[in-house]
Amino acid sequence: MTKRELLAPAGDVEAGYAALYYGADAVYLGLSKFSARATATNFDEQTLDEFTAYAHSLNRKVYVALNTVLQESELPDLIKSLDVCTRCKVDGLIIQDLGVAHVMREKYPWFEMHASTQMAVHNKEGALFLKKIGFKRVVLARELTLAEIKEIASIPDLETEAFIHGALCYSYSGLCQFSAMEYGRSANRGKCMYPCRAAFACNGRESHLFSMKDMALGEDILKMPVDSLKIEGRKKSALYVAAVTDYYRRILDGKGADTQKEENIKQIFSRPWCKFHFNGKDKKIIDRDFVGHRGLFIGTIASVSHGKMRFKTSHLLARHDGLQIDAAGDEKPFGFSVQKLFADNKSVYEANADTFVTVELPKGYPLLQKGDKIYLSSSGAVKGSYHYEKPKPNAYHNNNDIDVKITVSDKQIFAKSGEYEACVNGNFTPANNPEKSNEAIKNAFGKTGDTSFNLRLLTIDNPKNLFTPSSLLNELRRDLYGKIKIHTFNGELPEVPMRRHIVEKRRFTVKVDNLAYLRLLNLDNFAEIIYLINPQSDIRELSALPKNKLRIALPAVCRHPALFAKIIDKLLASGYHKWEVANYWALEALPTQRLDISFDSSLYMLNTQAIAMASKIGASQITLSLEDIKVNICNIAEKSNIKTSLVIYQDVPLFTSVGCIRDNDCKNCSQKTLWFDLEKQGRKFKALSQNCQMMVFDDKPYCIAADATDVMTDFLRMDFVYKPYTAEKVRTICEKLQNFEDVEACIKGNFLNKNI
């Protein structure tokens, strides 16, 4: 394995320069559009051009994250972004949308495609499939253990990238729909509202059930056989990026984990640290009691009296440093800046570690008690520890390569570059030193100065070895270079096949995870029955159903695809050729060439380029995104050259997670299905714990039947999965939906919104 790349984040150019200064081998960043960190400062073309040119001068790489899903109307802007990346010579693009992959594969093949962690690659099969369709690198799901990382990293000719430090999402990335469905701001479009950080009431107690600690792998990164080690933090400051990059650079260089540098990081910004599931299943990954930045723990309150707090500090403390205290009963730590500091009853500017100090508290401080934890959340000393150098403005820019041919004759020196020509006339005689004459030509034309190009190849045709005066050569160079116009690269969208048939009559489909739900339905009213299987499904029950209508569905998350191998083989052998896939792993697990494959909504079809890519990789049908809006759905359904399905009823999984909220430890877990009733600011939710996986749902189903009368998709789908139903309730709901009536008390997500 080659040297592992240390990959650092840059939400702005200052963070980028800090990352390079402190040893990042590569930097990833976003543009003004299509970045999963839409609220970061991000980069415009001029800033990106200067930054990539500077990074390349240091032999470092720059990757751009175009890692959101795109609607149809945004495809022209995608081309503009890809053109910017081409002109600025970025080294690779991190993407989620299959439509972006299709455009890159067809029109921008010079770019490396990196599969974003938003593509939810959590097993070897998923990585293998993405390799087949052109991805050079896969960014692994954060949830993986070291053993799982090693398995995926063993795939030949596929680069792997894994997160090593930073914020964690409660849900698998790419499978979180909480912000989109509940607040109209999609995480898959870079607009997450972070509802996972909020407090939820459960069993009479309010706590932050889904608020994750930060990942910090430290020296464990040396065990990871991946190609790239990724630091999270495109919304963090340059100071944070500098400190974290410096810390891991030292570890990779064999200098070990520096305790002081760890403390610096915690002081700058951190939640409590954990290793997530790196060493195996771990429940201690959620911080239920507090949210946000804590800082570095430096002591506990010894006493509070007359507006002053006394404690023994374990760290250097100075005036104007920031402190935060875990005050009982408060959701967030209480923070303030130290204005007056005392040691040994004397006013001091700073106090060394292991010193008892007294700090004056600000007016209106909350109830503080002996034993409350104190954190250093801002330190002047640390801020001054991470200076970094950066180039002068406009010192670097990306030039275009040109080739020049010089022809020397008795009466003329002629210069040509592509379509551009220039010449100088004169009487040219044999040179006393032909080598020096040719050297003068090289020196003259090598001076590109403040032009926007580099001289790549200079060809000299001087058969008589004639002398060429430098003054004339410089005149010729200025004339030629002044004429050359670098053509701005302008790409285009690939043409995609358009719909060849008109939907005359929409048909209904039904999806279940329990075949008993179908007992009272008239199956003649349904074009398809979709059955979500698990490794324990009793497929003998399928014999009572019409095989030509059955479509077998595989789940979005499957950490161990081998568990499905037997049931898949049995179903294939029994002649079940219609399948639904919800994640890329299933496309590797199935012989797709001879099957009828449908894409579920979790593969995010929001534009015709994504649909075209889906068709090319084997899909005969796609399910439109649950996050999408009606206007875009109608637009792409009308154009799609393969069949389309619209979900009109579903209990939408808002979170799909390995973060368990059961109170018991793993050793004493019954593993039985367990439901929780949750509430947040008047909204009610249901949480399902099953097979070491958590799923969270709105208490009300998603239902758009009444608003879908004019949406011309081939199929209208109703789902009865995850939540428990009875056959009677399923029948009642289906009858309503088939009459284009909504169920009582439902949510509509973004369907009627103007944008997401």
Q: Which H, E and C letters describe 634-645, residue by residue?
A: HHHHHHCCCEEE
The predicted model gives 16-29 an average pLDDT of 98
CB burial string 237-249: b at 16+ within 10 A, e below: bbbbbbbbbbbbb
- The pLDDT assigned to 2 comes to 66
DSSP states of 110-138 as a string? TSEEEE-GGG---SHHHHHHHHHTT-SEE
Residue 108 pairs in a beta bridge with none
CATH of 507-651+701-738, one of 3.20.20.70, 3.40.50.2300, 3.50.50.60, 2.60.40.10: 3.20.20.70
**Alpha carbons 447 and 453: distance in angstroms, whole number:** 10
User: What tens digit of pLDDT does each residue of 164-187 get?
Assistant: 999 999 999 999 999 999 999 999
| Confidence at residue 333, expressed as pLDDT on a 0 to 100 scale | 86
Lowest mean pLDDT of 110-124, 355-369, 663-677, 725-739, name the range.
Answer: 663-677
Q: Which residues contact 27 (CB under 8 A, 6 or more apart)?
A: 7, 8, 9, 10, 16, 19, 20, 51, 55, 60, 61, 62, 63
Is 574's pLDDT higher than 70? yes
Token reading at 102: 């299709």
Q: Which residue has the higher pLDDT, 395 or 18?
A: 18
| CATH 2.40.30.10 domain locations along the chain | 296-383
Query: 463: alpha, beta or left, given left = phi > 0 and alpha = psi -120 to 50?
Result: alpha
Percent of the chain clearing pLDDT 70 (strictly above): 99
Q: What is the mean pLDDT of residues 223-243?
A: 97
C-alpha to C-alpha distances, 26 to 54, 108, 152, 270, nearest whole angstrom: 12, 21, 22, 23
Give the integer Cα–Cα distance in Å for 479 and 580. Answer: 64
Give the angle subtended at the CA of 233 by the CAs of 227 and 234, to the nearest 5°.
Answer: 105
pTM of the model: 0.91
The mean per-residue pLDDT over the stretch 110-137 comes to: 97
The region that residue 515 occupies, defined by phi over 0 for left and psi between -120 and 50 for alpha, beta otherwise, is: alpha
Tokens standing for 39? 């609220």
DSSP string covering 393-417, please?
TTS--PPEEEEEEEEE-SSEEEEEE
Output the pLDDT for position 756. 83
pLDDT value of position 448: 85
Q: Got the DSSP string for 453-482?
A: EEEEEEEEE-TT-B---HHHHHHHHHHHHH
**Measured between alpha carbons, how far is 388 from 348 in angstroms, rounded to an integer?**
30
> CB of 62 within 8 A of CB of 90?
yes
- The C-alpha angle with vertex 734 and arms to 730 and 735, in degrees rounded to 5, equals 120
Mean pLDDT of all residues belonging to the chain: 94
pLDDT in tens, 642-656: 999 999 999 999 999
Quote the DSSP letter at residue 286: B
Measured between alpha carbons, how far is 680 from 206 in angstroms, rounded to an integer? 9
User: For 382-409, what is the mean pLDDT?
Assistant: 93
- Strand spans (E) along 159-251: 159-166, 200-202, 205-207, 214-216, 228-231
Both tokens assigned to 490: 């302008």
> What are the tokens at 695?
């799923």
- Determine the pLDDT at residue 533: 97
Distances from the Cα of 259 to the Cα of 172, 225, 269, 382, angstroms: 31, 25, 16, 14
Amino acid, single-letter form, for residue 41: T
Range from 96-100, 391-395, 503-507, 750-754 carrying the lowest mean pLDDT:
503-507
Q: Extract the tokens encoding 118.
A: 């938003």
The band of 113, judged by pLDDT with boundaries at 50, 70 and 90, is very high
Q: Could you report the per-residue pLDDT of 317-369, keeping only the tens digit for each?
A: 999 999 999 887 777 889 999 999 999 999 999 999 999 999 999 999 999 99
For the cut 70, the answer to whether the pLDDT of residue 150 exceeds it is yes
5-168+213-271 has which CATH code?
3.20.20.70
Instruction: Say if residue 544 is exposed, middle or buried (CB neighbours under 10 Å; 0-12, 13-18, 19+).
Output: exposed
Mention the CATH class of domain 296-383: mainly beta
Q: What gap in Å lies between CA 582 and CA 513, rounded to an integer?
A: 14
DSSP letters, 695-722, are EEEESS-EE-GGG-TT---SEEEEEE-S
Start-end of H helices in 599-655? 608-616, 630-639
* Residue 39 in this model has a pLDDT that exceeds 80: no
Residue 194 has pLDDT above 80, yes or no: yes
d(CA 111, CA 681): 46
Phi, psi for 305 (deg, rounded to 5): -160, 135
User: Can you give the pLDDT at residue 35?
Assistant: 87
Model confidence band, residue 1 (pLDDT cutoffs 50, 70, 90): low
Chain region(s) in the chain for CATH 3.20.20.70: 5-168+213-271, 507-651+701-738
Distance separating alpha carbons of residues 406 and 484, to the nearest angstrom: 15
Bridge partners of 68, per DSSP, are none
Sheet (strand 693-698) strand order = 205-207, 200-202, 674-680, 683-690, 693-698, 655-657
Compute the average pLDDT of residues 682-687: 95
End-to-end Cα separation, the chain, in angstroms = 42
Confidence category of residue 501, pLDDT binned at 50, 70, 90: low
- Tell me the two tokens of residue 11: 């939400």
Contact by Cβ (8 Å): 327, 367: yes
pLDDT of residue 423: 96
